[in-house]
Chains A and B, each alone.
Chain A
Amino acid sequence: GAGVSQSPSNKVTEKGKDVELRCDPISGHTALYWYRQSLGQGLEFLIYFQGNSAPDKSGLPSDRFSAERTGGSVSTLTIQRTQQEDSAVYLCASSARQGLYTFGSGTRLTVV
């Protein structure tokens, strides 16, 4: 596609439920990143996929968070047993080379 696509754009879920957020990167981009944007906290790195290498999971805040990238393309970020502090905008970005990143519009997650 022309850009990075994220779905859903908005998600409201009840505390304790699991959610899945999807990211479709630009075709051919080997790198894919997930970030979380919370009010007053800026953008927090979550996880990074590069080709067939093991992902950099150093930013995942707890074991309730996981992500996978299938076939080197689509990625899914899963949050289990959601908590209110998980409410944020989750941004995905992809990159074909150093220094050039394209961001999606994000998924706004609200946990009630």
Chain B
Amino acid sequence: AQSVTQLGSHVSVSEGALVLLRCNYSSSVPPYLFWYVQYPNQGLQLLLKYTTGATLVKGINGFEAEFKKSETSFHLTKPSAHMSDAAEYFCAVTSTGANSKLTFGKGITLSVRP
């Protein structure tokens, strides 16, 4: 079984401030981990993913995430928030092996203050 915990439902930051969105996972086998972004009235867009190899993963729009096995975490960061980053962010996990379902967290809404 696998699960994802995204604590809190809403994060608000000032433009230019650090963005930190937390994600903790549970998986009985080595996980693949994902962050997706959903802008208002749009579909899901992949930000970045960790499968194997380097634990620090860089994605689109300046976001990055670090896989920490010891902490079962995959937190998403961006050094400087932009107004256009306002959206809902979902962390997801799947198990290694054959194609398998993605299990999502409940999502976090990011607001960016001018």
Partner-B contacts on A (CB < 8 A): 30-31, 33, 35, 40-45, 48, 50, 56, 59, 91, 93, 95, 97-99, 101, 103-106
Contact = CB atoms under 8 A, between A and B. Distances in A.
B29 interface: no
B90 interface: yes
B43 A98 contact: no
A96 to B, nearest CB: 9
Contact of B32 (A42, A43, A91, A98): A98
24 contacts: A30-B99, A40-B9, A40-B106, A42-B90, A43-B92, A43-B102, A43-B107, A45-B101, A45-B103, A48-B100, A48-B101, A91-B43, A91-B44, A93-B102, A98-B51, A98-B97, A98-B98, A98-B99, A98-B100, A99-B94, A101-B46, A105-B42, A105-B43, A106-B43
Q: Is the interface of A mostly helix, strand, loop or mixed?
A: strand
B96 interface: yes
Nearest to A98: B99
The 8 closest A-B pairs by CB, nearest first: A42-B106, A43-B104, A31-B99, A103-B44, A105-B43, A48-B101, A99-B51, A42-B107
B32 A99 contact: yes
Interface in B54-112: 90, 92, 94, 96-107
Contacts of B105: 42
Contacts of A105: 42-43
A88 B90 CA distance: 17
Nearest to B105: A42
Contacts of A104: 43
Contacts of B49: 99
A30 B43 CA distance: 21
Nearest to A97: B99
Contacts of A41: 106
Most chain A C-beta atoms within 10 Å of own C-beta, residue among B9, B44, B97: B44
A10 to B, nearest CB: 11
A45 B98 CA distance: 17
A98 B32 CA distance: 9
